[in-house]
Structure 1
Amino acid sequence: MTHIIRRKFLLGISALCVALLSASLLGGCGSPAQKAPEPAQKEKAAQTRTITDSYGRSVTIPAQVKTAATVGCAARYVVYAGGMDKLVACTEKEKKPGPNRPYAMAYKDKFDKLPITSNGNHRMDTAVDTEKMLGLHPDVILSSRTKPECDKLQEQLKIPVVGVDSNSEIFGEGVSKSITIVGEVLGCSEHAKKVTTAIANWKADLDKRTKDIPDAERPKAYVGAVNYRGAKSITGTCAHYPVFEAIHARNVADESGQKSEFDTTFEQIGTWNPDVMFLNQANMNLMQKDYNDHKAFFDKLKVFKEGKIYTQPFFNFNGTNVEMAICDTFFCGKVMYPKQFADMDMPKKYDEIFTTLLGKAYYADLKAQGFDFTTITFK
């Protein structure tokens, strides 16, 4: 009897061992168990986040960005997004503020105190002081340069580089996208959202006021002294001019077949003989010389006879000054369609736009520098 009991006991032990071994083998045939993240990996993931920039690049940045530097004209978008407190460096362009860069004028005192880390060119050859940039070692670099340049700089410095680009737009998607991205990066998304919402509202207001005006009531408009590849006089113009497009203006230059800025001729301007003309106020010295040399030609033009020549404070300089472009658009609308804009207090509107994008009123400062939205005469 004892022998039988002992035998059953041994058989039970053997069966249990076989069962345990089978379970172990079956477990090995399935998918490997996911290894729990190491504490260091968890901590690192919590300290970073990934954003998508204007070029569709995925860039890993600190979860909380405390410092930033800029390359190209990206400082303009830092101002628009409300993130000036994060800047620890600027470019040469911000050190030379003027009416062609309202964002730099508005924060002149702030930029004066920051070190320079690049020349600030938006499209022309750029130069980054890598040694100084590495010494400051900002959490992130915001750049308006091309996608390949952003990749190259990031690889060179081992600092996240976020690309922002608006493609010289005024109301296009690129502008709001760039402002939104900078707001997301610098932790000021709420302010950035207010700005992009205001831009969308201004666009809608301009469209509502002008879209249903009969063609017969739309004056023939011409914009001159438009800069491209250098300063231009009256023959420098622009087809599909964004300012005119936003208010459904009848741009005579669209008849040229050109797609953007180009140089026309005196003869062609005479043939178009526009009803209203807007001129880049920064190039009035060139305009005055042309007028002195070709007075007989100019005095035959309808706009010179009727005094319908207006200033257009320029908005394209090393990128687009969006706030100035929007002010120009409302001014052109007021000039061409006075009835549709009769309710608008223009100085108040200008400062509404400046305050929203720059964070402070700027119209009085603009006038103090000799620039305004007004009529102009030549003698």
Structure 2
Amino acid sequence: MKRMRAFGVVAIAACLCACLLAFAGCSAPAGTGSSDGAQDAAATKTVVDAYGRSVEVPADVQSAATVGSGARFVVYAGGQDKLIAATEMETEPALNRPYTIAYKDLFANLPATSNGNHLLDTNVNEEQLMELAPDVIISSRSAEECDSLQADTGIPVIGITYQNQLFTDNVYTSITCVGEALGTQDHAQEVVSKLKEWDADLKARTADIPDADKPSVYVGAVNYKGAKSFTGTYANYAPLVELGAKNVADETGQKAAIDVDLEQIGNWDPDFMFLNAGNMDLMKADYANNKAFFDDLKAFKEGHLYTQPFFNFNGTNIDTGICDTYFIGATIYPDKFADVDLDAKYSEIYTTLLGVDFYQTMKNAGMGFTALSFS
């Protein structure tokens, strides 16, 4: 009888164990039960980045680090509060990178895990990144570099690409995928919607201007690989492309920043010149040495010299680039932009992309959109 009772107890215990195991299987952690797929799906999500790379990231990203100029787009996507590491570029705020000024207190307290170069050679402290263990890395480097960094660190890397672009699918996708990765997709979508709104507005204002009525434009003293004087220019200059304007540098057949000579500028003899006031020392020296040449140029004689903040510095400041586009448009096509309150438009653009009205900071620092004189 005792043996029968003992057997019964064992049998009941075995049944209870089996039931418990079966129940445990229904709620087992990923990799141990029949609902693994659902568990994994809940723990991660797939984000397609600007290079078309499918990247698995945590479903609820709490922290991010950046490489290259990725922090710029983290700000545009509204995710700056999730940053736990940035680059040396961000820890050295400058007016030519508005996002670094807008959030200088944040960046001042973040560790720098790379030198931050956007296109030039970069270096990344992978060991430090792994110690910090961000949920995701946002990188503006090439797709190949994104793959390599992800393989080396085991941290998902979202790649963005946007050099010298304003209203392009690359820009829209870069903002969108960063927002999706960081969980700020609603904010990111609002920003992209405003970009598309400004794009439509600018195109509508200039679409019906006959080529014969378009003045010739030269953009000079642009910065690339160092400061440049008059002869540093840009072919395929994004604001002029957006406006359908006549950029004389496009005649070179080039697609980006180039150096020309004074003779070529004289041959073009543009109607309007937009020059980077940040390089005024270089331009004043050139002007003093070639005064007769410059005074004979149409833009100099007619007072069509203007300055604006240039927007390419370690990547493209989309905000400043759009402001420049409105300024150039209102300058060369005044009738088409007569109803635009430019100061209000600049404030709207910076506030949308940065979350703060950086235009007021620019004005206080003496940087603006204005006529220029060498006399």
So what's the TM-score if we normalise by structure 1?
A: 0.88
Match status 1:334 vs 2:300: no
1:219 matched to 2:215: yes
Are the equivalent residues in 2 in contact too, given 1:167–1:174 (CA < 8 A)?
A: no
Give CA deviations for 1:328-374 in whole Å, capped at 9, x if unaligned.
00000000011111111111000000000001101121122221100
State the match for 1:371 in structure 2.
367
- The whole-number CA distance in structure 2 between the counterparts of 1:296 and 1:371 is 29
Unaligned runs of 5+ in 2: 1-31
Residue 354 of structure 1 aligns with which residue? 350
Within 2, Cα distance between the matches of 1:168 and 1:264?
19
Residue 320 of structure 1 is matched in structure 2 by 316
Q: Which runs of 5+ in 1 are unaligned?
A: 1-35
The Cα shift of 1:62 comes to: 0.6
Post-superposition Cα deviations, 1:164-210, rounded to whole Å, max 9, x if no partner, equal 11243111110010000000000111110110011111111011101
What does residue 311 of structure 1 align with? 307
1:192 to 188, 194, 206: 188
Q: Name the residue aligned to 1:88.
A: 84
The residue aligned with 1:7 is none
Shift in Å at residue 259 of structure 1?
A: 2.6
Most deviating of 224-233 and 114-123: 224-233
1:145 corresponds to: 141
> Does the 8 Å CA contact 2:323/2:349 hold for their aligned counterparts?
yes
**Take 1:319 and 1:369, find their aligned partners in 2: how far apart are those partners?**
22
Higher mean alpha-carbon deviation, 281-290 vs 199-208, is at 281-290
- Quick one: which of 155, 161, 167 aligns to 1:165? 161
Partners of 1:100 and 1:52 lie apart in 2 by: 30
- The equivalent residue for 1:302 is 298
**2:97 alignment counterpart:** 101
Residues 217-296 of structure 1: matches in 2 within 5 Å?
Answer: 217-296=213-292
CA distance in 2, matches of 1:336, 1:258: 23
2:68 to 68, 72, 78: 72
Structure 2: distance between partners of 1:185 and 1:343: 39
- Paired letter, 1:338: P
Q: Distance in 2 between matches of 1:288 and 1:99?
A: 22
> How far has the Cα of 1:40 moved from its partner?
5.2
Give the match's secondary structure for 2:41: helix
Q: Distance in 1 between matches of 2:310 and 2:235?
A: 16
Q: How does 1:170-189 map to 2 (within 5 A)?
A: 170-189=166-185
What are the superposed Cα offsets for residues 291-320 of structure 1, whole Å, 9 maximum, x if unpaired? 111111111111111211000211001110
Contact preservation (8 Å) 2:203, 2:243: yes
Contact 1:226–1:236 under 8 Å retained in 2:
yes
SS for the counterpart of 2:137 is strand
Query: 2:164·2:238 contact (CA, 8 Å) conserved in 1?
Result: no
Which whole-Å CA distance do the structure 1 matches of 2:90 and 2:256 have between them? 28
1:99-137: per-residue Cα shift (whole Å, max 9, x none)? 110011111111112111111111111111223212210
Q: Aligned equivalents of 2:256 and 2:132: distance in 1?
A: 40
Change (3 A) 1:259 1:41: closer
- One-letter code aligned to 1:95: T
String of CA shifts for 1:32-73, please: whole Å, max 9, x gaps. Answer: xxxx95355543332111111111211111111011110110
Q: Is the 8 A contact 1:142 1:163 kept in 2?
A: yes
Q: Which has the larger radius of gyration?
A: 1
Counterpart pick for 1:204 among 186, 200, 207: 200
- State how far apart, in whole Å, the 2-side matches of 1:272 and 1:71 are: 40
CA deviations 1:229-264 (Å, max 9, x no partner) are: 322111111222111111111112222232322111
Counterpart of 1:51, as a letter, is: V
Identity, % of aligned positions: 55
Q: Is the 8 A contact 1:91 1:117 kept in 2?
A: yes
- Larger mean CA deviation between 159-168 and 255-264 belongs to 255-264
Secondary structure of the 2:120 match is coil
In structure 2, what residue type is equivalent to 1:210? T
RMSD, aligned α-carbons: 1.6
- Which of 126, 129, 132 is matched with 2:128 structurally? 132
1:52 pairs with one of 48, 54, 63: 48
1:142-181 superposed Cα distances (whole Å, 9 cap, x missing partner): 1111111111111111111111112431111100100000
Is the contact made by 2:48 and 2:55 (CA closer than 8 Å) also made in structure 1? Answer: yes
**Is 1:120 matched with 2:116?**
yes
Instruction: Give the direction of change, closer, same or farther, for the CA distance of 1:41–1:247 in structure 2 (3 Å limit).
Output: closer
> d(CA) in 2 for partners of 1:215 and 1:59?
45
